[in-house]
Structure 1
Amino acid sequence: MSHILISVFVLTVMEIVLGIDNIIFIGLLSNNLEDKKKANIARKIGLVIALGVRVVALLFVSHLAHMTTPLFSITTDEGLRHAVSIRDIILFAGGLFLIHKSAAEIHEMFSDDDGKEQETAGTMAKVIMQIVLVDLVFSADSILTAIGLVEEVWIMIAAVVLSMGIMFMLAGKISDFIDTRPSLKVLALAFLIMIGTMLVAEGTGVHIDKTYVYFAMAFAGIVEVLNSKINIRKSPKRKKRKVRPVVTEELVAV
C-alpha cells in the first residue's frame, strides 16, 4: 500500500512540475477573453477536455510506446542522422505554435489596436481548442515519463487526475496574478518562447536540459520581484503635511 501511495505522490509532483509552463500558458490564453466569466469557463472546459484526452491516452498505453518508434530519418550536412518519431513531430509543431503565439501576445501588448473589443463569439471556442492543443503538447513527455516510472495504468491515471485537479485550482489565480502585472506577463511570455525553442530543438534531436531553462527563469523572476519592490519604495508617497497650530494672541478686555 505504501508503495502505491509513494508512486502516486511522485507521479503527481512530477506532473505538476512538468506542467508549470502549461499552467502559465493556459492563463495567458484565457486572458484573451475580456469577460472574466468566459475566461474562467474556457479554462475549466479546456482543462476537463484535456484531462479526458490524457486519461484515454493512458488507457491505450500500449500504443503510446510507438510514439518513439522512428518513422523516417533525416541526415544533416555533417553526416549525422536523426530518426524522426511521432513524439518529435508533436514537440516540433507544438514548439513552433508556442513561439508564434507568445511572440504574437508580446506584439499585441505593444500594439495600439483595440482589436480585443471586436472579438466574436467564436473566440471562446478558439481559446478552449488552443488550451487542449497546448496541453497535449506539454503532456506528451510527462505521459511517456509516467509510463517509464510505473507499470500500473490506474496509478498513472490517479496521478494525472490529481495533478490536473491542482492545475484546475491554480490556473485562475496565476492568470489573474499575471494579468495585473504587465512586466511579469512579458517575462512569462519570454519564458514560453524559451520553452517553445527547447521543444523545437527536442523535435530535431537536440536535447536541452529543462533545468537550465527553469533556473534562468527563476533567476529572472527573482530579479523582477526585487525590481518591483524597489519601484514601490521609490514611488512618490503622499507625505502627511504637519499642520502647525497658529497661535493667535487675543487681547481680552478685563
Structure 2
Amino acid sequence: MEYLVELAASPTAWVALATLIVMEIVLGIDNLIFISILTNKLPEQHRQKARRIGIGMALILRLALLSTIAFIVQLTEPVIDILGQTFSWKDMILIAGGLFLLWKATTEIHHSMDPAPEDPKSATSGVTLGFAAAIGQILMLDMVFSIDSIITAVGMTEHLPIMIIAVVVSVLVMLLAADPLAKFINDNPTVVMLALGFLIMIGMTLIAEGFGAHVPKGYVYAAMAFSATIEGLNMMSRRAKQKRIAAEA
C-alpha cells in the first residue's frame, strides 16, 4: 500500500502513466481496425457481441501477459539463427502476425473487388461457424498486438501498477470506440478499402520488425493520418456533390 501511495505522489509516475496510456491507445488502433473489419462480415445481430468478446479477450490477454513479465522479457532473447539472422520468439510472433494480416487484408480486398458466390456447403453450416471463425482470428491477432503492447509497456516503465492502469484504460477506450468505428467503416465502402490498406502496411511493419528492421511508429501513423485526412476530404466532396444534384433535381 505504501508503494502505491508513493507512486500516486510522484509527478514522474503520472507523466509515465499519461505517456503510456497514449502509446497503448495508439497501438490499440491497429487491433481495433482489424476487429471492426472482421466483425462487419458477420450478421448484424452478432457484430456487437463479437466486438465485445474480441476486445474483452484483448484485455484478458494483456493482463495475463503482465502477470508473466519475466517471461515476456525473455521473448526478446535470440532462440534461432538462420543464415546469420537471429530470431527471438517475439520476432517470430510478429512475422507470423504480419503474414496473417497480409493474407487477411488481401483476401478481403479480393472479395470486395470480385465477390464470389457463397459456397452452398458453408451456407448450411449456419452463423455459428462464421462467428467462431471470426473470434478465432480476432484471438490470434489479439495475441500478436498484446505482446507488442506489453513489451512497449515494459520498455517505458518498471512499475506494474502503471502498466495495468494504462492497459485497462486503453482497452476501455477501444471498447467505447468499437461500435462507432465499425459503423463508420461499414457505412463508407471507400473507408473499408483504406482500412484494409492500413492493415497491409501494419502487416509489412510487423514483418520488418520481426526481421530486425525497426520502423518508427510515428512514420506509420503519420501516413495513416494523412491518408485518412485525404479520404475525409473526398467524402466531404462527394456529399457536397450529392447535395447539389439533389437540389437541382
Q: How far apart are 1:212 and its partner, in Å?
A: 2.0
Aligned counterparts of 1:150 and 1:238: Cα–Cα separation in 2: 56
Q: Report percent identity of matched pairs.
A: 41
Matched with 1:163 is 170
Alignment gaps of 5+ in structure 1: 76-80, 242-254
Q: Mapping of 1:237-252 within 5 angstroms? A: 237-239=245-247
Aligned counterparts of 2:92 and 2:202: Cα–Cα separation in 1: 16
| Contact residue 62 and residue 147 of structure 2 kept, 8 A | no
Aligned counterparts of 1:198 and 1:49: Cα–Cα separation in 2: 24
* Secondary structure of 2:82 counterpart: strand
Q: Which moved more, 1:161-170 or 1:108-117?
A: 108-117
Q: 1:16 aligns with which of 4, 15, 25?
A: 25
Aligned counterparts of 2:246 and 2:167: Cα–Cα separation in 1: 51
Q: Cα deviation per residue 1:84-137 (whole Å; 9 max; x = unaligned)?
A: 000000000000000000111111112233439935412112211211211221
| Contact residue 46 and residue 129 of structure 1 kept, 8 A | no
Q: Mapping of 1:95-244 within 5 angstroms? A: 95-115=98-118, 118=123, 120-235=127-242, 236-239=244-247
Q: Partner amino acid for 1:156?
A: M
Q: Cα deviation per residue 1:67-95 (whole Å; 9 max; x = unaligned)?
A: 011001222xxxxx321000000000000
Instruction: Count residues with an aligned counterpart.
Output: 235
Larger radius of gyration, structure 1 or 2?
Answer: 1
Matched with 2:4 is none
Aligned counterparts of 1:239 and 1:97: Cα–Cα separation in 2: 47
Q: Cα deviation per residue 1:32-90 (whole Å; 9 max; x = unaligned)?
A: 1022x311101111211221111111111111111011001222xxxxx3210000000
Q: Partner amino acid for 1:46?
A: G
Aligned counterparts of 2:247 and 2:186: Cα–Cα separation in 1: 30
* Secondary structure of 1:237 counterpart: helix
Is the aligned partner of 1:60 residue 2:68?
yes
Q: Measured at CA, do residues 54 and 239 of structure 1 come closer, stay the same or move farther in structure 2, by a change above 3 Å?
A: closer
| Contact residue 4 and residue 155 of structure 1 kept, 8 A | yes
Give the RMSD, CA atoms, in angstroms.
Answer: 1.9
Instruction: Output the TM-score relative to the length of structure 2.
Output: 0.87
Aligned counterparts of 2:55 and 2:170: Cα–Cα separation in 1: 11
Q: Measured at CA, do residues 240 and 19 of structure 1 come closer, stay the same or move farther in structure 2, by a change above 3 Å?
A: closer
| Contact residue 67 and residue 87 of structure 1 kept, 8 A | yes
Q: Which has the higher helix share?
A: 2
Matched with 1:47 is 55
| Contact residue 43 and residue 131 of structure 1 kept, 8 A | no
| Contact residue 94 and residue 199 of structure 1 kept, 8 A | yes
Q: 1:30 aligns with which of 26, 33, 39?
A: 39
Q: Which moved more, 1:128-137 or 1:187-196?
A: 128-137
| Contact residue 47 and residue 132 of structure 1 kept, 8 A | no
Aligned counterparts of 1:210 and 1:159: Cα–Cα separation in 2: 19
Q: Partner amino acid for 1:115?
A: E
Q: Partner amino acid for 2:137?
A: Q
